[in-house]
Amino acid sequence: MMRTPASLLIVGGGVAGLALALELADTRPVTLLRPASDDHGASRWAQGGIAAVLSPDDDIEAHIQDTLDAGDGLCDVGAVRFTVEHGRQAIDWLIQLGMPFTPDPDPRSHYPYHLTREGGHGARRVIHAADATGRALIETLLHHVKRHPGITLHDDFMVIDLLGDGTGCLGARCLDRAGRLHELRAGDTVLATGGASGLYRHTTSPHPACGEGMMMAAELGCELRNLEFQQFHPTCLYDPDGPPFLISEALRGEGGYLRTLDGHRFMPSIDPRAELAPRDIVARAIDTEMHRSHSDHVWLDMTHLPADQVMRQFPTIYGHCIGRGLDITDSPIPVVPAAHYSCGGIASDLTGATDVPHLYAIGEVAYTGLHGANRMASNSLLECLVFAHAAADRLKRAASRPRPGTDVSPIVIPPAHTTRLAPDRIAAMMERLRTIMSQYVGIVRHDEGLHRASAQLAALSQESHELRARHAPDIALSRLDQAARLATLVVAAARERRESRGLHFNLDCSAHATEPPHPSRQRV
C-alpha cells in the first residue's frame, strides 16, 4: 500500500532553510515559512563569502587547523572535519544552480572564480559574489524555491511557539498578519531561524533575530550550548544617523589597515597576524583602543590601495559609503564593533537532529561544534549549506514514515485572551533588555556586571512572561518574552565559565582555565 510521505515544516527562509527546502522538495511535501522580514535577515547581509578549499594551493587539513585555532580550543573536531570536507560539494551545488560568483580576473589562475582571504585563514579560500555574497545567494536559492511545485511558501505566518507531546515536535503555533492564531502540524519540523544578535543594541543587521528559535526549542526540551560566545564583528560602519551596515572582513583581507584616530596602525603590536587575526582578538583590540582614547570609533584605511581595485572588489560597500557622503578610496572608514553572530545555540548532531524527536536545527540557530569559542570568517554560510544537505539526507530516509495528524494546513485556534498590550510598552522593555546586555554582557565582561545583568534580566523576564500570559497573542510580545528568557540563559552561561576564552572575555578571570575546556550547557 502506498503511503503519503511525511510533511515537513521549515521555519526560516535564509540560506539554510532555502537550501534544505530545495534538497527535499522532490522527496516529500515541504512547507516553508519565510516572513517578508527574512529579506533583511543575516544571510542576505553576509558580504564576505563562503570559505571552502577550492584552490590547488590550499588543502583540507589547513582549513581544519585554521578553524580549530580560531575556535580557541572549543571546536568539535569531528564537526569541523565534516564541514570542511563537504565544502567543495556545497560550492559545486551552488554553481549548478547558477550562483554568480565573481570570476578570477587572472587567466593564469587554477580556479575560475576569485578567492579572497579573511581573518584567521592562512590561505585564499573565500569564494564570493563581489561584496554581496549573501544577497546573491538568497536570490539564487529563492529563484528556484519559488518555482518548485513541491514547496509551499508562506510569507504571512510568524511562529511564536512549537507544538509538542511525548512523541516529539508536532509543528508550530503561528500568528498571521491579522493577529489570528494558527496551528501548523508537521511530520518533522526544522528550525532555521538565525541567531541572537538582536539581544544587543548595536548589530550588523537592520533586523536581527533575538534567539526566538533557540528559546522555543529549549521550551520543548532541547539543550542549548555555548550561549556565552556572542561574536562581535570588528568593523561595522560607524554612522549614528544611518542604518547598521557591515564593513566586510574582506577589506582587511585585501590589505586594509586599522588605525587609531591619530593615524597609528595598532594591530601589528597586538597579534602577529595583525588585521587578519581572528575576530575576537580584533574586536577586543578595537574596543580597548576606543576606551583608551575615549573615542566612538577607529579607522579602517583603504586609501593606500588602488582606487579602481577597491571600487571593483567592493562595489556594495563603496556605493553605500558614497551614499553616506564618504569616499573610501580617499578617506578612512569609521568603524566600530557590533553584535554579529551567535556561536552557541540548539545542540544538534551532524544531521541537524536535536534531542527532541522530529525537531531539527540548522544554520546559526544550531550549535554543531564547528565554531567553538569563536567563529572564523565565512565559515557560517558554509555551515548553512553543508548541514542543510546533511539534514536533507537524513530526512529523505525518514520520508516513508509519516505520522498521523500532521498535515501542514493552518488550523485557526481561538486565543485565551483578547486584550492587547500597548506596543510602546513592549518596545520600551525590549530596549531595556538590549541596554542591559550591551552594558554588561558585551565584548569585555566582569563579574559584578554579570551579577547585575542576571538580577535585572530575571526581573524583566518574569514581567514579560506574566504579561504574555495575560494578553492576546502578539508577535512583539512573544519575541520579548523569548528574548528575555534567553538573555538570562546567556548570562548564566557567562557566569559559569570561570575563564576567558574566545569571544567570552572576563576581566576577573582573564586567562584560560587550567582544566580542558568544555561546552556550556543550558536547559529550561
- Collect all residues with Cβ–Cβ distance below 8 Å to 458 and sequence separation of at least 6: 488
Report the distance separating Cα 494 and Cα 503, nearest Å.
11
User: Radius of gyration of the chain from Cα atoms?
Assistant: 22
C-alpha span between 392 and 287 (Å, rounded): 41
Bridge partners of residue 33, in order along the sequence:
11, 154
Grid cell, residue 414, equals: 481561538
CA distances from 26 to 3, 244, 285, 362 (A): 16, 38, 49, 20
As a dihedral over the C-alpha atoms of residue 105, residue 109, residue 111, residue 112, rounded to 10 degrees, the angle is 30
Q: Give the length of the chain.
A: 524
DSSP 289-358: HHHHHT-S-EEEE-TTS-HHHHHHH-HHHHHHHHHTT--TTTSPEEEEEEEEEES-EEE--TTSB-SSTT
- How, if at all, do strands 168-176 and 333-342 pair? unpaired
Q: Which residue has the cell 581595485?
A: 309
Residues paired with 151 in a beta bridge: 30
- The verdict on whether 273 is a catalytic residue reads no
Phi first, then psi: what are they for 45, rounded to 5°? -90, 0
Which residues have a Cβ under 8 Å from the Cβ of 319 and sit 6 or more positions away? none
Proportion of the chain in helix, strand, coil states, percent, rounded to 5: 40, 20, 40
Opening angle at CA 506, ends 502 and 509, nearest 5: 105
Of the residues 135, 173, 279, 445, which is catalytic? 279
The Cα–Cα gap between 83 and 518 comes to 20
Asked if residues 412 and 182 have their Cβ atoms less than 8 Å apart, the reply is yes
Catalytic positions are 279
